[in-house]
Structure 1
Amino acid sequence: MNSSAKPLPHKASLPASATDVSATPRVIVQVAFDVPLDRVFDYLAPRPLPAGVRVLAQFGPRKLVGVVVGQAAASPHQLRPLLAVLDELPPLPDDWLALTRFAARYYHYPLGQTLFTALPTALRNPPRRTLALPPVYALSEAGAAWQPPARAARQLALWARLRQGPLALDDEARALHPQAGKLLREWLAAGWLAQVTPAQAAMTVSPGPALTDEQREVVDGLSWAGFSATLLDGITGSGKTEVYLQWIAQALAAGRQALVLVPEINLTPQLEARFRARFPHTPTVCLHSNLADGARAQAWLAAWEGRARLVIGTRLAVFTPLPELGLIVVDEEHDGSFKQQDGLRYHARDLAVWRAQQAGAPVVLGSATPSLESVAAVQAGRYRHARLTRRASAAALPQIHLLDIRRQLLDEGLSAAAWQALADGLAAGETSLVFINRRGWAPVLACVDCGWLSSCPHCAARLVLHWHDRRLQCHHCGHHEAIPHACPSCGNPDLKPLGQGTQRIEAALRRQFPQARIARIDRDTVSRRDAWAEIDRQVRAGELDILVGTQMLAKGHDFPSLSRVVALNADGGLYSADFRAEERLFALLTQVAGRAGRGALPGQVWVQTQFPDHPLYLALREHDVAGFAQRLLEERASAGYPPAVFQALLRADAPELDTAMAFLREVRQYAACHGDVLSLGPAPASMARLAGRERAQLLLQAERRAPLHAALSALCSGLDDWARPFGSALRWSLDVDPQEL
């Protein structure tokens, strides 16, 4: 970190890390709470408080943590005083508050709930202990000539790390020695160490592979003079990650912080390991849902304080405070997991672009299959376009074979050609991947006599057969039940699974290839983050012959020995009523195919389909990402779909569908007053019943953002009033730029 960065103060605290406010309060402050009300609340404070200070206040019968967002000159109401000022940390930074204000405004979500969505859980509640950053230690002049006894190997490891630069008493130090805290304090008392303000460790970069000419041109082409948005459009295996690393090194060398957003961090262990290997002494934190609340808060605070120079995280990490932000990278920018689907329905990619613009820093959106929104931004001149058209290893893109299965008898879902491809790979000692984006044994259990299908009692969905667990499970609401011994409708004991899932394919492969070493990778088998590291080790050590998995295998994995991919049941994506389904299917199949042939072995991909002449499959076979995107953009413009237009989706759910529909009809009558906004619906949602509630939706659409948001602002001011006659049974939510219809 630059020496100019200011450390967070570590203040003494009251019982709950707070300052007493018993003095006569005189100042009126406006406080935002984590409540579903789009307003702030006035309280009396003992002194002027800057925006961003956390406070404790009585809110009805509850004591809640709030955030001061401003001051008021006067109030017509009798006001309560604050209970405490939680000032063990400084006020939340202005740029962070600006980001949350923008998110609340753009997504039409209460400011208080937006603020508390962006805060770590440990900062959302009254503190049980003082939140303070760990002390940081560095070698003193006397310590430069001293070291622990030679027999104390772990002490020596801790000391060797201190020789590389300042060290905080955090997880890194405790991993080197379980009693790191005790040792560091002893060495401090002996004069071997000095406690310092947090500072950047000596910036060292491990050597990486030589850049190709194309990579070098892309790296040199990034502008560091203020804000810029770049779409890094690179084929699978083209070395996008290496380009990211080069840019991150430049940002770190300039004394700046870097933020890297990834779709799902527990699916990309190679990426995290690669970053840590390249920057071994750069303080790095990872923010994701697997972290405990305390660990997440400490990582968040380290980034805010400026000690963490590199932050890697999933979508919520876009809200991490970074005082010296110099670069944002959004990897796999097309991925749907960057869109939050409940609560504050933000899109992390879009917020990353806004945040980079506010910080005057470059943002890079990387993908082998860019989203149509990003392609349209390039065509409109808002984003710069950087391209990587060749694989970094000089390997060719995999050859894609379309297997026409319309007149073929399938064996456990695989055609004869697919079985032969796997047998050939096994004989050659190569690793193969069987991709089927459906976990479980089979999508549904059926009665061959009366046609009964296993259905969820709470959702408009089928119960998936999980044979190994002897249960039927809903993958939407979580309901599960035992497999019936006979048909619940007619009593027939002959129940059959229909279709295939990963479990069934795995069992079929084990029967066909009993000598093969097979691993199944889906959310049922990979529940621990370190499970990916073990799979990666096994593949690289040549201990696995065939992988069977879902889309979890499509993201960010680089297995040099994997040469063959067989994709099953891909056609399902062509039947969806969602206009984005074709775009998603193409991206998924391109990413899956891109796992093959990344090393010395040529890649071969077999895609089973009943529509081999479909434009999607023809573009996939030719690796024509740009042509496919252009065709979809033209179709979207002609049909009036995003990104040619802008949308918002008002959803409603209730125990009865008529209740939700009636509410939305009321809203539509008002929305019709806005002539620039088209209202479509209301109509039942694509999954009309979920978790026991009936769902409907109203789509609002405009050719420009401004009229749409003006209409949404007007609507939001009255939605609670329109909902009130329907009682507590009705719930509604607004989704701006929806990704699921």
Structure 2
Amino acid sequence: MKNQKPILNVAVPTPQRQLFDYVIPDEFIKSDSTELFIPGCRVLIPFGNRNLIGLIVKISQSTDFDLKKLKPIKALIDKEPLVSKILFDFFIWSANYYHHPIGEALLKVFPGNLRKGLPLPKTTTRCWKIDKSYSSDNTKSVKQLDLLSLLNSVDHKTDEFLKACFGRSTISALAKKGLITEFQKSYTKEKVSFPKALKQNPKLLNDEQATVLSKLSIEKFSCSLIDGVTGSGKTEIYLQFAELILKNQRQVFILVPEINLVQQMEAQFSNRFDLEVLTFHSNMTDNQRLLNWTKAKNGEAHIIVGTRSSVFVPAFNLGLIIIDEEHDQSYKQQEGFRYSARDLAIQRASNDSIPVLLGSATPSLETIQNCIKNKYQHLYIKKRIGLSQPPKWNIIDLKNQSISNGISEFAETKIKETISNGKQALIFINRRGYAPALFCNSCGWVMDCANCDSKLTLHKAKQKLICHHCEFTANVPLKCLACDKDSLVPVGMGTERIEEYLKNIFPTIPVFRVDKDSSKKKDFMENLHRKVNGAEPCIIIGTQMMTKGHDFKNITLVLALDTDTQLFHPDFKNQERLGQLLTQVAGRGGRGQFLGEIYLQTYNSDHPLLEKLVKDNYGSFLQDISSEREVTLMPPFRHLALIRADSTHSDKVINFLKHVRSITNSIQPQNRSINYIGPLPSMLEKRAGRYRYLFQIRTKNRSQMHSLLTKLTHQMGTIKIPSSVRWFVDVDPVEL
């Protein structure tokens, strides 16, 4: 229906895959102020019996609904769009690419405070200056006099600077005496000047590093993979290429896969550049996230270091995106809006015509294929920097070994040799807790999770049994709940059990456990690095948290305890992940002047993939994985999308996905280039009390997949779905 009044097409955070039409209130029309309504602005809208925050996506001159039934918005929150048009269009493109409800996706990419309707914060800086009535006679404290002397020689200094130099108590004392005055300084954008902006000089690059840097261009979009072995100095290339971008008055974004790596990368850039380096991740408060988001938007932050959600942070003048450890599956969001931050970063860089760098010692197969197709530039660094050599790979065949608490006799001997030589050992086991199961020796009973198809993991330190999938927690029973006998024993190994065992063997040697549980302590990683870099003999026991980003010079032994579990896991990407984990953890060894060794404990010493890793390298290993994926028509040789569904009733979710398959087949029957599989149970069929199944869609080209998904999701929106069933689309999944 055509209309003289503009119609606002608003994205609302609901599971419905549509925009909602609203009209502009009469007072705006009467005052001729309709131009205030611009896509990207937030509005307060009536939605059912609630008031919600929505985003204007489009402004139309017509509607499919009765104009008289359309409601006016309640308020226009923003006087101008929150982000630029090109970035807002990128947000919309992202929602459409991953076929996620547009309202949920668009609101999700903004900080929580903006979703609540709060305004952008004023980005002022707290500063101090000398009071006009200043007199040094009013204090005798040396620290206070030094602070006053400094402020007397300059116009002002920031609170952060003075706190770091003199301490909060000194500032407070002078303020109480009225000798210094606080004020808020508004940001004024200043030109970045080099070498003034450098705190430390760049390191001298070796020939391989220099060659890689010379092939990077700041002029236009390009995607370059820096495929460098562990310890090859990829970060120094990041820093020196970032310097070229910063000299051109542009901003740099660095994405890392995990929060515990943010601090390390932030330190690298803060130590090099005397510029504003800010972080962005989920452990920050809502207020701090919004403040840093706003500073990046205004150009106050020159460098942003963050996790996957940072791909949506606005920028004043973005010039470079760096994706460190590009292979890491943590870049793929696994709940809600299931986007890949790595893939979106590449798309955003393409939109902005800027370079993007991917860095890894173990690139993903998808990235390697894009290099083979010449979509990405493939740059190699095959040698470590300095005198350090790559670690020597070895296999411990467990069929010929006695084992105690998961550690073979040979491995225990190697640990003792390492400690006696004054060096450090890293024990890798990708399983936290004390033991993965509590077992009854009398009747065979095992304590399962009440909500999942999984066993409860024993956490001895907490004296709890915990499900690692849904966080269900139970007390440790004194007797078997099936036969009432006192015969419960922990079965299997976790980081806690290995820690306990090694502390008994090495009572005078520091043993550090690094996992999700231990790292919750404040400043854990910072303290760990300080202690380990003290170079005294020690043993580190760690999960995958220890596989990347850590530079310990005195580790010469790496021991991987549980190689076989992932070797035979049925998920299509698991063997690739195993190769990445083992190669990365091996890279923690021998980073100083002493040669490192890695030993893989396995019952399958003649497995061809393990032989490839040990005798050849990760690249050769990946070629075998690639050949298998090509034969089985799995990514990256086919494009994969999943319709995932779950319900409290398994029959309902199976029947629902059967119906989905029927609809899919009616839209596009299977042929040589399009293939359907399912419904199939997910790898963990029951989780948090819900049965989980999936329907696979595999296509030869990407346009086929998106065309099919667009038609399918539209038709699914018209069918009646049982209230207990939830469904969503997972494009380019990293697990089944």
Normalized against structure 1, the TM-score is what?
0.90
Give, in whole Å, the separation in 1 of the partners of 2:592 and 2:467. 39
SS of the residue 1:382 aligns to: coil
Aligned residues of 2:12 and 2:55 also touching (Cα < 8 A):
yes
Q: State the partner residue of 1:73.
A: 61
Please give the alpha-carbon distance, in whole angstroms, between the structure 2 residues aligned to 1:70 and 1:162: 55
Q: Aligned letter for 1:737?
A: D
* Distance (Å, rounded) in 2 between the aligned partners of 1:392 and 1:697: 46
Map 1:104-253; keep pairs closer than 5 Å. 104-127=95-118, 131-134=121-124, 153=143, 197-199=188-190, 202-203=193-194, 204-205=197-198, 206-253=200-247
1:431 and 2:424 are equivalent in the alignment? yes
Match of 1:35 among 5, 9, 14: 14
1:271 corresponds to which of 265, 274, 277: 265
The alpha carbon displacement at 1:436 in A equals 0.7
SS of aligned partner of 1:396: coil
What aligned pairs does 1:603-682 form with structure 2 within 5 A after superposition? Answer: 603-622=596-615, 624-673=617-666, 674-675=668-669, 676-682=673-679
Q: Is residue 52 of structure 1 aligned with residue 26 of structure 2? A: no
Q: Aligned residue for 1:730?
A: 725
Aligned to 2:492: 499
Q: Deviations over 1:69-124 (max 9, x none)?
A: 12111343333222222236654211220211111110001222111111001111
Partners of 2:150 and 2:682 in 1: CA distance: 60
Instruction: Give the Cα–Cα distance (whole angstroms) in 1 for the partners of residues 605 and 154 of structure 2.
Output: 58
In 2 relative to 1, CA 66–138 (structure 1 residues): closer, same or farther, beyond 3 Å?
farther
Query: Does structure 2 conserve the Cα–Cα contact (< 8 Å) formed by 1:218 and 1:386?
Result: yes
The 3 A distance-change label for structure 1 pair 33 and 489 is same
Deviations 1:402-454 (A, max 9, x none): 00001322011111110011101111111111111111111111111221112
Query: How far apart are residue 381 of structure 1 and its match?
Result: 0.7
**CA distance in 2 between partners of 1:160 and 1:415 (Å):** 62
Partner of 1:664, secondary structure, is: helix
How far the C-alpha of 1:490 sits from its partner, in A, is: 1.5
Residue number among 690, 693, 697 corresponding to 2:694 in the alignment: 697
Counterpart in the other structure of 2:83: 92
Distance 1:400 1:241 in 2: 25
Among 707, 710, 724, the alignment partner of 1:710 is: 707
Mapped contact 1:398–1:604 kept (Cα < 8 A): yes
- 1:68 partner letter: I
SS for the counterpart of 1:683 is strand
The 3-state SS of whatever aligns with 1:672 is helix
**What's the CA shift string for 1:167-218, capped at 9, x where partnerless?**
877x6776667569x98xx99999x998552335545121132111111111
1:470 to 451, 459, 463: 463
- What is the rounded CA distance, in whole Å, between the counterparts of 2:153 and 2:638 in structure 1? 57
Q: Structure 1's 188 and 83: CA in aligned 2 closer, same or farther, altered over 3 A?
A: farther
Q: Within 5 Å, which residues of 2 pair with 1:218-367?
A: 218-279=212-273, 281-367=274-360
Distance 2:112 2:187 in 1: 28
Q: Which residue of 2 aligns with 1:16?
A: none
Q: Which amino acid aligns with 2:244?
A: Q
Compared CA separation, residues 74 and 158, structure 1 to 2 (3 A): farther
Code of the residue aligned with 1:98 in structure 2: it is D
- Distance in 2 (CA, whole Å) between partners of 1:112 and 1:162 is 54
SS at 1:73 equivalent? strand
Deviations 1:120-164 (A, max 9, x none): 01111022x662222598999x9xxx9x99967479679979999
- Asked if structure 1 preserves the Cα contact closer than 8 Å seen for 2:433 and 2:494, the reply is yes
Kindly tell me: are residues 62 and 175 of structure 1, through their superposed partners in 2, closer, same or farther at Cα, counting changes over 3 Å?
farther
> Structure 1 residues 194 and 527, CA, compared in 2 at 3 Å: closer, same or farther?
closer
Q: When the two structures are aligned, how many residues end up with a matched partner?
A: 705
Say which is worse superposed, 353-362 or 56-65, in terms of deviation: 56-65
Question: In the alignment, which residue of structure 2 is the partner of 1:4?
Answer: none
Shift of residue 43, structure 1, vs aligned partner: 2.3
Question: Would you say the 8 A contact 2:11–2:57 is kept in 1?
Answer: yes
Counterpart CA distance in 1 for 2:573 and 2:188 is: 50
Worse-superposed segment, 487-496 or 501-510: 487-496
Going from structure 1 to structure 2, the CA distance change for 1:359 and 1:725 (only over 3 Å counts) comes to closer
Tell me the secondary structure at the aligned position of residue 339 of structure 2: coil
**Percent identical:** 36
Q: Secondary structure at the match of 2:718?
A: helix
Cα distance change of structure 1 residues 57 and 447 upon mapping to structure 2, 3 Å threshold: same
Asked whether the 8 Å contact 1:442–1:500 carries over to 2, the reply is: yes
> Aligned pair in 2 of structure 1 residues 380, 155: CA closer, same or farther (>3 Å)?
farther
Which stretch of the first structure deviates more once superposed, 57-66 or 246-255? Answer: 57-66
Check whether the contact 2:192–2:247 (CA below 8 A) recurs between aligned residues.
no
Give the Cα–Cα distance (whole angstroms) in 2 for the partners of residues 187 and 705 of structure 1: 67
- TM-score of the superposed pair, with normalisation by structure 2: 0.90
Closer, same or farther: CA 360–235 of 1 in aligned 2, 3 Å: same
Mapped partners of 1:630, 1:85: distance in 2: 56
* Runs of at least 5 residues in structure 2 that lack an aligned partner in the other structure: 29-33
Q: Which residue of 2 aligns with 1:721?
A: 718
CA gap 1:164/1:515 in 2 versus in 1, 3 angstroms: farther
- Shift in Å, 1:627: 1.2
The alignment status of 1:602 with 2:595, answered yes or no, reads yes
CA separation of 1:161/1:340 partners in 2, compared to 1, >3 Å: closer, same or farther? farther
Distance 1:234 1:155 in 2: 51
Matched, 1:450 2:443: yes
Give 3-state SS (helix, strand or coil) of 1:729's partner.
Answer: coil
- What is the aligned partner in structure 1 of residue 31 from structure 2? none
SS of alignment partner, residue 491 of structure 1? coil
Q: How big is the shift at 1:165?
A: 12
Query: What does the per-residue CA deviation read over 1:519-553, in whole Å, with 9 as the maximum and x for residues that have no partner?
Result: 11111111045210000000112356111111111
Amino acid at match of 1:470: Q
Aligned counterpart, 1:63: 51
Matches of 2:14 and 2:142 in 1, distance apart?
54
Change in CA separation of 1:412 and 1:701 when aligned onto 2, cut-off 3 Å: same
Counterpart amino acid of residue 264 in structure 1? E
The answer (yes or no) to whether the contact 1:54–1:86 under 8 Å persists in 2 is: yes
* Residue aligning to 2:734: 739
Shift of 1:619: 2.1
CA distance in 1, matches of 2:110, 2:229: 36
1:591 aligns to what? 584
Aligned mates of 1:565, 1:595 — CA distance in 2: 8
SS of equivalent to 1:600: coil
CA deviation string 1:317-338 (max 9, x = no partner) = 0001113111110000000100
| Counterpart for residue 102 of structure 1 | 93
CA distance in 1, matches of 2:190, 2:49: 44
Q: CA deviation at 1:615?
A: 2.2
> Secondary structure of the equivalent of 2:518?
coil
Matched with 1:12 is none
Residue type of the alignment partner of 1:455: D
Q: Does residue 1:536 correspond to 2:536, yes or no?
A: no
Structure 1 residues 91 and 725 mapped into 2: Cα distance closer, same or farther (>3 Å)? closer
CA contact (8 A) 1:136 1:196 kept: no
- Matched with 1:391 is 384
TM-superposed deviation, 1:740? 1.0
Please say which of residues 118-127 and 204-213 is displaced more in the overlay: 204-213
Cα 1:416–1:219 shift into 2, 3 Å? same
* Cα distance per residue 1:289-336 (max 9 Å; x no partner): 110000000000000111111010000000011131111100000001
Q: Which residue of 2 aligns with 1:481?
A: 474
**Counterpart residue type for residue 500 of structure 2:** A
Q: Aligned-pair distance for 1:613?
A: 1.6
Q: CA offset at residue 27 of structure 1? A: 4.0
CA 208–66 in structure 1, closer or farther in 2 if over 3 Å, else same = same
Distance in 1 between residues matched to 2:7 and 2:125, nearest whole Å: 36
